[in-house]
Structure 1
């Protein structure tokens, strides 16, 4: 240290250790990113898809090499959950069009929890998704209960379809089938008059269907008409309903498990006839809040060919 006038001593400026540390961290991150970019394309695609679309897009900030890497993904999994802290708006849904414009790959999965302002744009999304060969479609409407556009039936490559809180339109002219559909879940949905025949047609023309859930599916009309659930590859069936809608079960030769959750007014119908369609089941759960005592002998006397587990959850009365 050199002496200065008036007895002062010159000191060296303080070192910014924090800045150097941040620099080293950044350099390490860039080195790691460069190592990742050298992976085989299939491995890198798998990593980016598992990150989720928002984090995959963020990788464009790593370096110039990464800037457009996410746009080369051969397929996208798009999740847009609802965030309570953002006035219920689906997280990131505003960026959907930008993502689809920049990434031409197919959309393997589309999951969105929608509220009123977004429900009106579903038709445009479904049109684009059908052209991108969407395989898994999961739509949940929290407050608006809209009627889905008929373009939902144009998604012919679906393997899984889940709908909650909406009305389902009539089948359009020229509807063929969902030939690859393996899972169908309908919860709190509404169908127009003769909607039972529409469900029958969808199930009948889905030869690979393995998993079927019908929970609070309401059908218009004053008269109950019998219709058939025929699915030779079905492995699980859930029917939860406050009303009887004339279900008949046939050709469920592969059925492994079933959950039947009915109100007492449903059980009063020909329950024995309904049970005859479940004779192949291995695991059966029957739930009824107020079960008539006559219901128990019908279950016990039914001849089940492969039954390994039977559970009854009900409040008995005379």
Structure 2
């Protein structure tokens, strides 16, 4: 059976259960109906329950505690956490004050199993500082994190804690607006498949040297790097498993990018490459243009 159909059925089931339960609470439905509902949802395996919860918005996943007594703390089985502006706006309406730091910390402390995915995506001003974020990274590094996203668009670049580099189970890493400096002697993420990195170019270290240590990389997206000489195309050429590559290029007079031939030489060295995205934000003639190249 198609996996997308299964996921759709799971989400539909939990929404129906929530609706039925709320209706029962409002209208005092017959006790037998309540028991039947409890039997259905209580008999689900833990993996199925976690699968359902992980596919709901975080605030809805917590609200499943109204389904039955057995579901009162099922939300603590969550393995994927997405804290975005929709979630924070929901908090502001229900809590009536800015206490986002306390809420996130409480979530992390109550979860029982591994946290495989964590997303902190903020477009509007929130009260977080580097210590808050790095404290969460320390917690996640001890709890099996595989997919990590920090996208803080309204904040000055934050300095990543070295705890990030102990998350050796990472498969997907997206970090925007940061100061990226791997510790000396770091040997790369052995399981990393995708990397999207948009660091502060002036304060970050050699990203190219870091990337080539992640030998399994299939997706690499870098921005604001070549301008500061943090990545050389010869380094990217060593990533033989790359399938998708996205680069923002700045100075065409730079020796790293002397002509279109240099780009095609890079393509020759990447046998598995399927998609290439080149963004020329500042061209030689001072014109803004965007070039996208696709390869089958």
**Which whole-Å deviations, capped at 9, do the CAs of 1:200-239 have from their partners, x for residues lacking one?**
2321111110001112336657x99775112111111011
Q: Measure how far apart 1:68 and its partner are.
A: 2.6
**1:103 equivalenced with 2:103 (yes/no):** no
Cα distance, 1:69–1:143 mapped onto 2, change above 3 Å:
closer
Q: Measure how far apart 1:118 and its partner are.
A: 1.1
Cα distance, 1:164–1:21 mapped onto 2, change above 3 Å:
closer
In the other structure, the counterpart of 1:12 is none
Among 260, 279, 288, the alignment partner of 1:271 is: 260
Is the CA contact 1:107–1:132 (under 8 Å) kept in the aligned structure 2?
yes
**1:155 equivalenced with 2:144 (yes/no):** no
Among 223, 228, 232, the alignment partner of 2:240 is: 232
**1:144 equivalenced with 2:160 (yes/no):** no
Give 1 or 2: higher strand fraction.
Answer: 1
Instruction: Give, in whole Å, the separation in 2 of the partners of 1:58 and 1:87.
Output: 13
The gaps in structure 1 that reach 5 residues or longer are 1-17, 249-265, 294-306, 310-318
Q: Measure how far apart 1:45 and its partner are.
A: 2.5
Instruction: Give, in whole Å, the separation in 1 of the partners of 2:69 and 2:146.
Output: 33
Is the CA contact 2:249–2:279 (under 8 Å) kept in the aligned structure 1?
no
What TM-score does the superposition give when structure 2 sets the normalisation length? 0.70
Is the CA contact 2:243–2:274 (under 8 Å) kept in the aligned structure 1?
no
Cα distance, 1:289–1:100 mapped onto 2, change above 3 Å:
closer
**1:128 equivalenced with 2:139 (yes/no):** yes
In the other structure, the counterpart of 1:190 is 200
The gaps in structure 2 that reach 5 residues or longer are 1-22, 93-97, 286-293
Instruction: Give, in whole Å, the separation in 2 of the partners of 1:245 and 1:155.
Output: 38
**Which whole-Å deviations, capped at 9, do the CAs of 1:140-174 have from their partners, x for residues lacking one?**
11222233223222222110111112222x22134
In the other structure, the counterpart of 1:258 is none
Q: Provide the aligned length of Structure 1 versus Structure 2.
A: 253
The structure with higher relative contact order (CA 8 Å, sep 6+) is 2
Instruction: Give, in whole Å, the separation in 2 of the partners of 1:49 and 1:110.
Output: 11
In the other structure, the counterpart of 1:199 is 207
The structure with the larger Rg is 1
Instruction: Give, in whole Å, the separation in 2 of the partners of 1:24 and 1:136.
Output: 43
Instruction: Give, in whole Å, the separation in 1 of the partners of 2:55 and 2:38.
Output: 16
Q: Measure how far apart 1:93 and its partner are.
A: 5.7
Is the CA contact 2:158–2:178 (under 8 Å) kept in the aligned structure 1?
yes
Alignment partner of 2:200: what SS?
strand
Is the CA contact 1:80–1:112 (under 8 Å) kept in the aligned structure 2?
yes
